[in-house]
Every structure is written in C-alpha cells, then in structure tokens.
C-alpha cells in the first residue's frame, strides 16, 4: 500500500478493531507487508475466482490519488480491471470513449470542476444501465446522489473491503442478467 499523507485511513469497528477505511487516519501496522485481507480486517477476503467474476471492469472516479490507488490495489488483487479518472470532466470523456463500458462505477462527490452528482447524471445519460456507487463524507448529498441515479450511497469513512465486495456482488449480479 502506498500513502503520501492526506486521507485518513484507519477506522474503528466495534467487533474487528482497526480496519482500513476510506476517509480515516492512516495507521501503520508494523514492519513488513500484510495481505489486503489482513489490512482490511478480513473484509477483503473473497473466495470467488477471477473466472467467477468474468473479467470484471470497474471505473473509479475520485480526485484523491491515494483513494484511486487504494481501490486499484484492492480490485486488482481480485483480478478486476480498474480504470480511473481524477474529476468529473475526465470521467465523462473517458466513459464516452470506452468501447467496453465498465461493469460498475465508484463515484466521489467533491471533485474540482464537475462534482459527482453532475458526473453521475451525465454518465447515466450515456448509459443508464451502469450501476454507480456513490462515496462521500458529505451525507447531506445522499438523497441527491440516489435521485441522480446512484444505486447505493456509502458515507465515508467505511472499510474499503466492504465496498469492494459489495461492488463485486453488483458486478456478478449484472453479469448474470446479461
């Protein structure tokens, strides 16, 4: 895992203790590298194989480099292809140019230029079938995000492994329907 200061990364879970979470303080766990499932308090543990996910593709839209890298590390450890954008304008442009659309999108709210609500609306005008999970520390935008078309809203901080596994469930369910 990489961290260059910035976002908080460690959340307290009453049952599990400290687990990596988007929006929490970074906590160094001692010498050596640990597996992603260990770092996530077990939340990232997943018995599905890459074949079960059928070459899933996830698009991460967030202005924080650390957050995009964290998602990339978690998803790629599960065999998922990850695309990312730093802001809403970049996300809409990339989405329009993608020949093979992502199976799901993780959308941040506060970004320079176009925010997550407007970006969600624009992407869903292009492809109304793509599931978008909205992720923000600003719970006041929950209703706006869901009204814009997000299938779920996750308030930061949260254990990143939970969101990754929820996203994989959405991707699998979507693939079964098609």
Give the strand pairing for 132-136 and 104-108: parallel
The DSSP bridge partners found for residue 21 are 159
Mean pLDDT of each 10-residue bin along the chain, 178 residues long: 39 43 39 38 43 74 93 90 96 96 95 94 96 93 96 90 86 80
Q: Can you read off the two tokens belonging to residue 4? A: 């260059």
Provide the pLDDT for residue 164.
Answer: 85
Sheet holding 57-61: strands in order across?
A: 81-85, 57-61, 104-108, 132-136, 152-155
Question: Where are the alpha helices (H) located in 22-131, listed in sequence order?
Answer: 36-39, 50-53, 65-77, 88-97, 116-126
Sketch out the chain's domains with CATH numbers. Answer: 38-43+52-177 (3.40.50.2300)
Provide the pLDDT for residue 22.
Answer: 52
Q: Would you call 67 exposed, middle or buried from its count of C-beta atoms within 10 A (0-12, 13-18, 19+)? A: buried
Provide the pLDDT for residue 55.
Answer: 79
- What is the C-alpha separation between 90 and 158, in angstroms, rounded? 26
Q: What is the pTM of this model?
A: 0.72
Give the strand pairing for 10-13 and 17-22: antiparallel
Bond prior to 35 in cis (omega within 30° of 0)? no
Q: Can you read off the two tokens belonging to residue 22? A: 């988007």
- What is the C-alpha separation between 21 and 125, in angstroms, rounded? 31
């Amino acid at each position: 895992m990489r961290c260059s200061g910035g976002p908080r990364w460690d959340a307290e879970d009453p049952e599990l203790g400290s687990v990596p979470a988007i929006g929490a303080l970074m906590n160094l766990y001692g010498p050596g590298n640990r597996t992603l499932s260990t770092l996530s308090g077990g939340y990232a543990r997943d018995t599905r194989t890459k074949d079960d996910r059928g070459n899933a593709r996830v698009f991460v839209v967030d202005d924080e480099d650390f957050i995009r890298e964290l998602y990339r590390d978690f998803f790629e450890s599960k065999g998922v292809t990850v695309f990312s954008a730093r802001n809403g304008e970049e996300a809409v442009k990339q989405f329009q140019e993608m020949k093979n659309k992502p199976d799901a999108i993780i959308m941040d709210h506060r970004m320079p230029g176009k925010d997550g609500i407007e970006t969600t609306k624009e992407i869903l005008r292009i492809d109304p079938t793509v599931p978008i999970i909205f992720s923000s520390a600003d719970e006041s935008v929950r209703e706006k995000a869901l009204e814009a078309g997000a299938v779920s809203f996750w308030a930061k901080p949260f254990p990143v492994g939970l969101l990754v596994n929820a996203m994989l469930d959405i991707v699998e369910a979507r693939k079964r329907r098609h």
